[in-house]
A and B are shown apart, each in its own frame.
Chain A
Amino acid sequence: APPEWDWRKNGAVTKVKDQGMCGSCWAFSVTGNVEGQWFLNRGTLLSLSEQELLDCDKMDKACMGGLPSNAYSAIKNLGGLETEDDYSYQGHMQACNFSAEKAKVYINDSVELSQNEQKLAAWLAKKGPISVAINAFGMQFYRHGIAHPLRPLCSPWLIDHAVLIVGYGNRSEVPFWAIKNSWGTDWGEKGYYYLHRGSGSCGVNTMASSAVVN
C-alpha cells in the first residue's frame, strides 16, 4: 500500500452529510461506499439517497439502526439507489417511495474485507472508500486530532457506529485513518474523524465491507 492515500483528493467522496437526530449512520456509511464504488467503476460521482434505505430496506430498522451487510442486500433486491436529489433525506422513516426507473446506480454484490489493517489500506488505495463500524467512545466530545483511546475503554466488542474510511496517512509519525462521519461539518475536523491506525483502535478493523460494482 502507498504510504498515504486520500480519496477526497481523487474525487471519490461527496460532501459530508448530517444524519440528524436519527440512528441512520449505517445508511450513510453504505451510500458513501457505493458512491465511491460507482465513481471508480463507472466514472461518475453521484450523491446517493439514504432516505431510500430508511424507507425501503425492510431488513433494517431505519433510525433505530441497521447493518451495512443488510443494506447492500436491500440495494441489490430493490434494484439500485436513487440520488439524494431524487429521494431526499428527511431524518425519519416514511412509506417507501422508491421507483426503479429513477435508480441511477446499482450494485452486483458486496464483500467483507480483511481485519488486517495493512491489507485494508492496500484495498482502500486500490478499490475505494470502505464502510466500517466502530466503537464511538469519546466521539461525543471529539474536536480534532488523532483519537487513540485506551483499549479497555474503546472495546472492539462494543461496536455502535458505522462510518466511512476515505483515506489514511501519518501526522507527525502517528498513523491514522481519515474517517467521514455523518454528523455534519460542524463536528470534528469539518465532519471528519481521525482514528489511530494499526492497533485495531475502537474495532475499526472488525466490520469492514464494500459493495461490488461490475
Chain B
Amino acid sequence: PAPAQSGAADAQGWGPPPPELLGPARFALEMYNRGRAAGTRAVLGAVRGRVRRAGHGSLYSLEATLEEPPCNDPTVCQLPVSRKTLLCSFEVLDELGKHMLLRRDCGPVVTKVTDDGNEALNSGLPLLTKDPLSQDFSVKMASIFKNFVTTYNRTYQTKEEAQWRLSVFASNMVRAQKIQALDHGTAQYGVTKFSDLTEEEFRTIYLNPLLREVPGKKMHLAKSIGDP
C-alpha cells in the first residue's frame, strides 16, 4: 500500500488498514458485528479510504472487505455458505475521540462489470458501475431520473448531455444522502429541481459569494425590543 501522507490517509490503495484508519475501521467492524455471538462475527480484511478534517471532527470514508465466517447452521442460513466476502463502504465521524457510524453499505464483492445493454446508464455512470452496488440500483436510479425529468420538465439537447446529467444526478443522490446523514434536525434531503446541476453550477448560478467576500455599507444597530 502507498505510505500514508502525514495527517491525511488520502486515497490509499487496498491493504491492511494503515494506522490512521485502524481506529475507525475497527469501530465500523464492531458496529457491523453488534449483537452477533462469538464465532459468527465477520473479520476485517483489506481497508482503504480517506479522511477529511473539519473543525474538531474528522470524517473517514472507508472501503473495507469483510470475511463472513462459514455458516453451517440451517437455522441461521438456508444454504451452507463456506465463506463469503463482502465489500463495504463506511462513513465514520470522529469527534474529539468519539466515533459515530454515519453510513454503512455492504454487498457481495462484484467480480466483473456487467454489461446490461443500457449504454446511457453504464457510460453515464462509469464510477458507479465499478462500485459494488447491485445492478438493480442502476435500474432504480434510471427510473428516479426519468421521474425527475418528467416532474421538472427537463429537456437536454443531446444524448451525451442526457448521459452527463444522469451521472450528475446519480452522484447528487449520493451527496444528498451524505447531507441527510450529517443533519441532526428533521430535514429531508433528496431530489429537488436542482438535482441535475453540479455543485459548481448550483453555486455559480444561484448563490451569492459577495455576501462573505465584501463588507457592505455600515448600518447602525437597531434598538432591542423593550429597550427604553
Query: Across the interface, do A161 and B207 meet the contact criterion of CB distance under 8 Å?
Result: yes
The residue in chain B whose Cβ has the minimal distance to the Cβ of A113 is: B222
Q: How many A-B residue pairs have CB under 8 A?
A: 166
**Out of A65, A122, A148, A152, which one reaches B183, CB within 8 Å?**
A148
Shortest beta-carbon distance from B179 to chain A in Å:
5
Q: Which residue of B54, B187, B199 contacts A145 across the interface (Cβ within 8 Å)? A: B187
- A186 in contact (CB, < 8 A): yes
Interface centre among A19, A70, A149, A210 (most CB of B within 10 A): A149
Bound CA span A144–B187, Å: 6
Interface presence of A140 (CB below 8 A): yes
Query: Is B219 in contact with chain A by the CB < 8 A criterion?
Result: yes
Q: Report the nearest B residue to A188, measured CB to CB.
A: B192
Cross-chain contact A171 with B186 (CB below 8 angstroms): yes
Please give, as numbers and ranges, the residues of chain B lying within 8 Å of A210 by CB-CB distance. 222
A136 CB-CB contact with B under 8 Å: yes
B188 near A143 (CB under 8 angstroms)? yes
Residue contact A126 to B208, C-beta cutoff 8 Å:
no
Contact yes or no, A111 B221, CB < 8 A: yes
A159 within 8 A of partner (CB) = yes
Stretch of A21-29, A31-39, A46-54 at the chain-chain interface: A21-29
Chain B residues within an 8 Å CB radius of A140: 172, 192, 194-195, 197, 199, 202
The reply to whether B207 and A148 form a contact with Cβ atoms under 8 Å apart is no
A143 neighbours in B (Cβ, 8 Å): 187-192
Inter-chain CA distance A39–B57, complex, in Å, is: 46
Do residues B206 and A196 form an inter-chain contact, with CB atoms below 8 A? no
Encoded as 1 (CB less than 8 Å from any A CB) or 0, chain B from 193 to 210 comes to 111010100110111111
Cα(A155)–Cα(B176), bound, Å? 18
Q: Which residue of B lies closest to A161 (CB)?
A: B207
Q: Which residue of B lies closest to A150 (CB)?
A: B182
Partner of B217, one of A67, A153, A158, A207: A67
Tell me if A114 is interfacial: C-beta within 8 Å of chain B: yes
For A134, give the chain B residue with the smallest CB separation: B211
The answer on a CB contact under 8 Å between B186 and A152 is no
CA distance A207 to B210 in the complex (A): 13
Q: Which residues of A contact B224 (CB under 8 A)?
A: 114, 119, 122-123
Is A147's CB within 8 Å of the partner chain B?
A: yes
B35 contacts the other chain (CB 8 A) = no
Contact A146 B192 (CB under 8 A): no
Beta-carbon contact of A162 and B208 below 8 Å: yes
The residue that B203 contacts in the complex, of A110, A112, A160, A171, with Cβ under 8 A, is A160
B192 engages A133 (CB within 8 Å): no
**How far apart are the CA atoms of A1 and B225 in the complex, in Å?**
9
A167: which B residues are within 8 A, CB to CB? none
What distance in Å separates the Cβ of B225 from its nearest Cβ neighbour in chain A? 4
- What residues make up the interface of A, taking CB atoms closer than 8 Å to B? 1, 19, 21-23, 25-26, 59-61, 64-70, 72-73, 110-114, 119, 122-123, 125-127, 133, 136-138, 140-153, 157-162, 171-172, 174, 183-184, 186-188, 194, 196, 207, 209-210
